[in-house]
């Protein structure tokens, strides 16, 4: 998506010797709602015919864009919460996720009452790197018996393996900007 690529080129900041892209000025801290609306429309163009009933994302950085995507589809947004307490009453689906940005493992959970076999789910996230966040969400959808339609990603770092792994597993992954390479000298899109 040209608009997003242009914005990444203009305002994205490359960190950690080319492995991390900071987009705090328009997506991850301050949010450009007009840009998010355009991304929401693009996801709707790609997945609008799929009978989606729910958008599922992960706390916290996916929530903003997922809300706007959900509005474009006219369905609720559900976000997997990072849980600190053990699930003892069986009322939640849980999965383990390895955090790319923090380097630690954490558990995410979704209350069973909000996801059922009648749902058709689109996963949405801001970034795709190694694919752990999306895999955790896939695991939760599978536990619920809902249909998983695909994943809508704003920025895929295609030089990391997540996108290929997920596509090879049969998931439809649509990324609005795919970065082939990045370094302090600049960014190349696929
Ligand atoms: P994955 O689970 O695919 O390895 O990483 C995806 C998650 O890590 C996203 O939810 C996002 O929050 C975070 N992430 C991964 N790479 C980046 C990056 O380069 N920049 C930012 N801001 N977040 C990232």
pLDDT digits (tens, 9 = 90+) for 126-141: 999 999 999 999 999 9
**Protein residue with its CA nearest to atom 4 in ligand 1:** 130
Q: How far is the CA of 161 from the centre of ligand 1 (A)?
A: 12
- What gap in Å lies between CA 153 and CA 155, rounded to an integer? 6
**Protein residue with its CA nearest to atom 11 in ligand 1:** 127
> What pLDDT is attached to residue 184?
84
**Residue scoring higher pLDDT (99 or 29):** 29
- What gap in Å lies between CA 163 and CA 160, rounded to an integer? 8
Whether the full predicted model's pTM is greater than 0.85, yes or no, is: yes
Tokens standing for 71?
């509005």
Residue 143 near residue 135 (C-beta atoms within 8 A): no
Confidence of residue 147 (pLDDT cuts 50, 70, 90): very high
pLDDT digits (tens, 9 = 90+) for 58-103: 999 999 999 999 999 999 999 999 987 666 677 999 999 988 888 8
Confidence of residue 39 (pLDDT cuts 50, 70, 90): very high
- What gap in Å lies between CA 35 and CA 158, rounded to an integer? 22
What residue has token string 């958008």? 55
- What gap in Å lies between CA 6 and CA 26, rounded to an integer? 12
> What pLDDT is attached to residue 87?
67
> Mutate which of 20, 101, 165, 182 to test ligand 1's pocket (most atoms within 8 Å of Cβ)?
101
Residue 72 near residue 46 (C-beta atoms within 8 A): no
Ligand 1 binding residues, C-beta < 6 A: 20-23, 28, 58, 61-62, 100-101, 125-133, 157, 162
> What pLDDT is attached to residue 88?
62
- What gap in Å lies between CA 129 and CA 163, rounded to an integer? 7
pLDDT digits (tens, 9 = 90+) for 156-186: 999 999 999 999 999 999 999 999 999 988 9
Q: How far is the CA of 38 from the centre of ligand 1 (A)?
A: 21
- What gap in Å lies between CA 107 and CA 7, rounded to an integer? 33
pLDDT digits (tens, 9 = 90+) for 15-24: 988 899 999 9
- How confident is the model over 43-56, as a mean pLDDT? 98
């Amino acid at each position: 998506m040209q608009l997003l690529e242009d914005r990444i080129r203009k305002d994205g900041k490359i960190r950690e010797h080319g492995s991390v892209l900071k987009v705090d000025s328009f997506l991850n801290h301050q949010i450009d709602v007009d840009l998010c609306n355009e991304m929401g429309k693009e996801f709707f163009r790609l997945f609008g015919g799929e009978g989606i009933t729910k958008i599922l994302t992960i706390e916290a950085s996916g929530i903003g864009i997922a809300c706007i995507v959900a509005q474009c589809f006219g369905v609720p947004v559900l976000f997997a919460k990072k849980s600190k307490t053990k699930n003892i009453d069986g009322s939640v689906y849980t999965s383990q996720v390895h955090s790319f940005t923090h380097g630690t493992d954490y558990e995410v959970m979704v209350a069973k009452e909000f996801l059922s076999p009648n749902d058709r789910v689109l996963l949405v996230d801001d970034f795709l790197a190694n694919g752990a966040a999306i895999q955790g969400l896939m695991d939760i959808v599978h536990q619920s018996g809902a249909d998983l339609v695909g994943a809508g990603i704003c920025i895929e770092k295609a030089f990391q393996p997540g996108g290929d792994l997920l596509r090879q597993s049969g998931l439809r992954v649509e990324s609005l900007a795919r970065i082939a390479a990045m370094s302090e000298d600049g960014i190349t899109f696929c």
